[in-house]
Structures are given as structure tokens and as C-alpha cells.
């Protein structure tokens, strides 16, 4: 999930772990069937997604064009299944070792693309604050290409 933000930060154990100005807050959920190809697809999509306004007020500029930053937060709860009962099931979420590796791969890929990437700590209890710009929130599922 991508949220266009004018600023965002993450606090862990009462200490700021990462902060950005204008850019993307990524909430990253990894499914058990996700692979490196999914990470590569998401890297391209995130790098080139044109959701910043140009001089005419149209969403036409990418993160790179506005010199934006990224705050990346792992969030397995994005894969909650709420079809049965009132307690969500997280059976689709990847096991922690796999999820952490793919999450770190995505962050490194984005850094390799030249972006400043701040992040939380995988599996930690995090407090995320943001100012959603627009608001603009986009859900990208690597399985729906």
C-alpha cells in the first residue's frame, strides 16, 4: 500500500527510527507465495508511479521527479482474512524469515534506484505517523499485474 505523504515518521520504543518529508509511506505485506519477481515488479511500480501533481494540477509526476523519499514499514496485517468470524486470520502472510528477506530486498532495490529509504524494524511494535497528502492511497498487489 502506498500513501502519498508530505511527511511521515516511525517511532519504536519511544525513539524515532525513521522520518521523511515529501514522498511515499509504504506499508509492505508479504504473502507466502511472493517471490523475488514480485519484489522486482513492485520496485519498478513504486519507482515509476506518477501520483504527484504537475504544474497543471494533474497526477503526472513520479517520486523521482519530485525528489521524494520513502518510509517503508512491514505490515503483515495487510493479509488479514476476515471472511470467517471476527478474529482475523493471517494464514496468507509469509513466514517471518521469508517476509523479512523480501521486505529488505524491496528496500535495498529502492535504494539502488537512488531513493532515500527510511524504515521501521521488521516485527517490532511501531507507531507510524503521517500527513497523507491528498489524501492519496494506492493499493498495489503484485499478483494483479
Task: Provide the pLDDT for residue 17.
Answer: 96
The rounded percent of the chain whose pLDDT value lies above 70 is: 100
Q: What is the pLDDT of residues 75-88, one digit of tens each?
A: 999 988 899 999 99
131 located within any domain: yes
pLDDT above 90 as % of the chain = 93
What does the mean pLDDT of the chain come to? 96
The helices-and-strands tally (H runs, E runs) of the chain is 2, 8
Total structural domains within the chain: 1
Which three-class secondary structure state does DSSP give residue 61? Answer: strand
For residue 47, being part of any structural domain is answered with: yes
Q: Cβ(5)–Cβ(144) under 8 Å?
A: no
55 Cβ contact list (under 8 Å, min separation 6): none
Mean of the pLDDT values across residues 80-99?
92
Whether residue 143 lies inside any domain: the answer is no
Query: Where residue 54 sits, what CATH number does that domain have?
Result: 3.50.80.10
* Strand ranges, E, within the chain: 2-12, 15-20, 23-28, 50-53, 59-62, 69-74, 117-119, 127-138
What is the per-residue pLDDT for 125? 96
Residue 145 in this model has a pLDDT that exceeds 90? no
Active-site amino acid positions: 75-77
Question: Within a 13 Å sphere around the CA of 78, how many CA atoms are in the beta-carbon half?
Answer: 18
- Give the global pTM: 0.94
pLDDT of residue 56: 97
Q: Indicate whether 96 belongs to any domain.
A: yes
- 144 domain-assigned: no
The torsion angles phi and psi of 94, rounded to 5 degrees, stand at -65, 155
**Segments forming the whole domain that contains residue 66:** 2-138
Over the stretch 9-51, which tens digit does the pLDDT of each residue have?
999 999 999 999 999 999 999 999 999 999 999 999 999 999 9
pLDDT of 106 > 90? The answer is yes
Quick check: is 145 in a domain?
Answer: no
Cell triple for 32: 507466502
Amino acid at each position: 500500500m502506498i500513501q502519498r505523504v508530505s511527511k511521515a515518521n516511525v517511532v519504536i520504543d519511544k525513539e524515532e527510527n525513521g522520518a521523511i518529508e515529501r514522498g511515499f509511506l509504504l506499508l509492505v505485506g508479504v504473502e507466502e507465495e511472493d517471490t523475488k519477481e514480485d519484489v522486482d515488479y513492485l520496485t519498478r511500480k513504486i519507482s515509476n508511479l506518477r501520483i504527484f501533481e504537475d504544474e497543471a494540477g494533474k497526477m503526472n509526476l513520479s517520486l523521482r521527479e519530485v525528489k521524494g523519499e520513502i518510509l517503508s514499514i512491514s505490515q503483515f496485517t495487510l493479509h488479514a482474512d476476515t471472511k470467517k468470524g471476527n478474529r482475523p486470520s493471517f494464514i496468507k502472510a509469509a513466514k517471518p524469515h521469508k517476509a523479512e528477506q523480501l521486505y529488505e530486498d524491496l528496500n535495498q532495490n529502492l535504494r539502488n534506484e537512488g531513493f532515500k529509504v527510511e524504515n521501521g524494524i521488521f516485527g517490532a511494535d511501531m507507531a507510524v505517523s503521517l500527513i497523507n497528502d491528498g489524501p492519496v492511497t494506492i493499493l498495489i498487489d503484485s499478483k494483479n499485474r
